[in-house]
Chain A
Amino acid sequence: MLLDINTYVGHWPFKQLQYNTCAKLLDRMDKYSVDISVVSNLNGVFYKNTQSANEELYDELQSDNNFRGRFIPFAIINPIYAGWREDLEICVSELGMKGIRVFPQYHDYEVTDPSFIELVKAARNRGLPVAIDIRMVDSRQRSWMDIPVFVPGEKSDIILKEWQLKNVIPIIREVPDAKFIIVNVANGLRVNDEELELLKKADILFDTSGRSMSDLPDLIKKFGKEKFAFGTHAPILDYLSGRLRIEYMNDSEADEATKELLRSGNARRIISI
Chain B
Amino acid sequence: MSMKIDRRRFIANTSLSATGIILAGKMTGCSTSQEKQIVSYDIMKDVMKYRKIDAHQHPSDDLEKQIEIADRLGIEKMQISNPVTNFSGKEAEGPDEVRKNNDVVIEAVKKYPDRFIGFFTLNPIYKKESIEEIKRCVDNGLIGYKGYTQVKINDPVYYPVIEKLTELKMIVYMHTFTQLGMGGYRMKYDVGRFPNTTLAEDMVESARKYPHTIFHFAHIGGGGDWEYQCKMLKQCPNIYVDTGGSNNEENIVDFAIKHLGEDRIFFGTDGAYIHGVGRVLSSKATDEQKKKIFFDNYVNVLKKGGYNVA
**A residues touching B (Cβ–Cβ < 8 Å)?**
1-2, 15-19, 30-33, 35-36, 58, 61-62, 65, 67-73, 93-96, 98, 137-138, 140-144, 150, 154-158, 160, 211, 214, 234-245, 247-248, 250, 263, 268, 273
Task: Find out whether the CB atom of A155 lies under 8 angstroms from the CB atom of B250.
Answer: no
29 A–B pairs (Cβ distance < 8 Å), ordered by A? A1-B1, A1-B27, A18-B284, A33-B38, A61-B21, A69-B14, A70-B23, A73-B21, A93-B18, A138-B223, A141-B224, A144-B180, A144-B188, A150-B181, A150-B191, A211-B246, A211-B272, A214-B272, A214-B273, A237-B248, A238-B249, A240-B278, A241-B274, A241-B278, A242-B278, A247-B43, A263-B3, A273-B23, A273-B27
A15's nearest neighbour on chain B, judged by CB, is B227
B287 on interface, CB distance cutoff 8 Å:
no
A236 CB contact (under 8 Å) in B14, B21, B40, B249: B249
The digit string for B158-187, where 1 denotes a CB below 8 A from any CB of A, is 000000000000000000000111000010
Task: Find out whether the CB atom of A96 lies under 8 angstroms from the CB atom of B19.
Answer: yes
Q: A96-B18, A248-B44 are in contact. Are A19 and B250 (CB under 8 A)?
A: yes
10 further A-B pairs in the complex, CB-CB below 8 A; given A67-B21, A150-B189: A1-B1, A32-B41, A35-B1, A138-B223, A138-B249, A140-B223, A141-B224, A150-B181, A237-B248, A244-B277
A259's nearest neighbour on chain B, judged by CB, is B3
Task: Find out whether the CB atom of B3 lies under 8 angstroms from the CB atom of A33.
Answer: yes
Q: In the complex, A263→B20 CA distance in Å?
A: 25
Q: Which of B5-13, B97-105, B128-136, B288-296 contacts A (4 or more CB under 8 A)?
A: B5-13
Q: A96-B21, A140-B223 are in contact. Are A238 and B282 (CB under 8 A)?
A: yes
Q: A16-B251, A68-B14, A69-B34 are in contact. Are A141 and B226 (CB under 8 A)?
A: yes
Q: A141-B225, A214-B273, A241-B278 are in contact. Are A72 and B192 (CB under 8 A)?
A: no
Q: In the complex, A98→B16 CA distance in Å?
A: 13
- Chain A residues in 8 Å Cβ range of B284: 18
Task: Find out whether the CB atom of A141 lies under 8 angstroms from the CB atom of B179.
Answer: yes
B259 on interface, CB distance cutoff 8 Å:
no
A67's nearest neighbour on chain B, judged by CB, is B21
- Chain A residues in 8 Å Cβ range of B18: 93-94, 96
Q: A68-B21, A240-B43 are in contact. Are A141 and B278 (CB under 8 A)?
A: no
Task: Find out whether the CB atom of A33 lies under 8 angstroms from the CB atom of B278.
Answer: no
Within 8 A of A (CB), among B212-246: 223-227, 246
- Chain B residues in 8 Å Cβ range of A33: 3, 8, 38-41
- Chain B residues in 8 Å Cβ range of A248: 44, 72-73, 274
Q: In the complex, A235→B283 CA distance in Å?
A: 12
Main secondary structure, interface of A, reads loop
Task: Find out whether the CB atom of B20 lies under 8 angstroms from the CB atom of A68.
Answer: yes
B281 on interface, CB distance cutoff 8 Å:
yes
Task: Find out whether the CB atom of B250 lies under 8 angstroms from the CB atom of A239.
Answer: yes
- Chain B residues in 8 Å Cβ range of A214: 272-275
B205 on interface, CB distance cutoff 8 Å:
no
B286 on interface, CB distance cutoff 8 Å:
no
- Chain A residues in 8 Å Cβ range of B181: 150
B52 on interface, CB distance cutoff 8 Å:
no
Q: In the complex, A165→B25 CA distance in Å?
A: 32
B22 on interface, CB distance cutoff 8 Å:
yes
B276's nearest neighbour on chain A, judged by CB, is A241
- Chain A residues in 8 Å Cβ range of B47: 244
B254 on interface, CB distance cutoff 8 Å:
yes
Task: Find out whether the CB atom of A70 lies under 8 angstroms from the CB atom of B12.
Answer: yes
Task: Find out whether the CB atom of B274 lies under 8 angstroms from the CB atom of A238.
Answer: no
Q: In the complex, A258→B282 CA distance in Å?
A: 24
B224's nearest neighbour on chain A, judged by CB, is A141
A154's nearest neighbour on chain B, judged by CB, is B190
Q: A16-B251, A237-B248 are in contact. Are A58 and B19 (CB under 8 A)?
A: yes
Q: A150-B191, A211-B248, A245-B274 are in contact. Are A239 and B23 (CB under 8 A)?
A: no
A273's nearest neighbour on chain B, judged by CB, is B23
B279 on interface, CB distance cutoff 8 Å:
yes
Task: Find out whether the CB atom of A68 lies under 8 angstroms from the CB atom of B275.
Answer: no
- Chain B residues in 8 Å Cβ range of A250: 72
A69 CB contact (under 8 Å) in B12, B38, B186: B12
What is the CB-to-nearest-CB distance from A245 to chain B, in angstroms, rounded to a whole number? Answer: 6
- Chain A residues in 8 Å Cβ range of B190: 154-156
What is the CB-to-nearest-CB distance from B150 to chain A, in angstroms, rounded to a whole number? Answer: 17
- Chain B residues in 8 Å Cβ range of A2: 3
- Chain B residues in 8 Å Cβ range of A247: 43-44
Q: In the complex, A253→B246 CA distance in Å?
A: 23
Q: A17-B250, A155-B190, A238-B248 are in contact. Are A36 and B23 (CB under 8 A)?
A: yes
What are the 6 closest A-B residue pairs judged by CB atoms, nearest first? A241-B278, A158-B192, A96-B19, A140-B223, A241-B275, A238-B282
What is the CB-to-nearest-CB distance from B72 to chain A, in angstroms, rounded to a whole number? Answer: 6
B247 on interface, CB distance cutoff 8 Å:
yes
B73's nearest neighbour on chain A, judged by CB, is A248
What is the CB-to-nearest-CB distance from A270 to chain B, in angstroms, rounded to a whole number? Answer: 14
